[in-house]
Amino acid sequence: MIRHTILRARRARKIDAEYKVFRHKHRNCTFCTISTGDDNEIVSETKHFYIIKNRFPYEVLDGSKVTDHLLVVPKDHFLELRDMTPSERKTLVEVLAKYEKKGYSFFGRSQADTGRSMIHQHTHLIKTEDKSK
């Protein structure tokens, strides 16, 4: 009888431990843990931003095949552009200009957009197949 109780308690602890790991993983913002070695691929970074590969890239944008899909993610947890300092916003525009020159389009979803899955502000950089070729 005692053995049975101990066995059940062990099982409960194991399940509880798994649940805590699960909760911890899913409660924390994955964009806040880019630097701590989760599986985001960092393409480059500035003082305030990471440029990462989108782990779930779009396949098609406006009828064109997407050839690269990056995200510009602030290192601090901002919800919106207005939460950033003027200096951070300036850096973001400089990053966007650099990628625009390389042929990337960019967009960001507002907090009100139901298609926005991450609350941490981020800007999409999307390159599509060149139709003129």
- Quick check: 75 binds Zn ion (CB under 5 A)? no
- Quick check: 32 binds Zn ion (CB under 5 A)? yes
Write the burial class of residue 133 (CB in 10 Å: 0-12 exposed, 13-18 middle, 19+ buried). exposed
| Residue number, 31 or 99, with CB nearest to Zn ion | 31
- Quick check: 50 binds Zn ion (CB under 5 A)? no
* The one among 17, 29, 42, 93 contacting Zn ion by CB under 5 A: 29
User: In angstroms, what CA-CA distances link 116 with 6, 79, 113, 129?
Assistant: 46, 11, 6, 25
Piece in contact with Zn ion (CB under 5 A), picked from 47-55, 67-75, 88-96, 114-122 = 114-122
Length reported for the chain: 133
Helices of type H across the chain: 2-27, 86-101
Residue closest to Zn ion when measured from CB atoms: 29
- Quick check: 25 binds Zn ion (CB under 5 A)? no
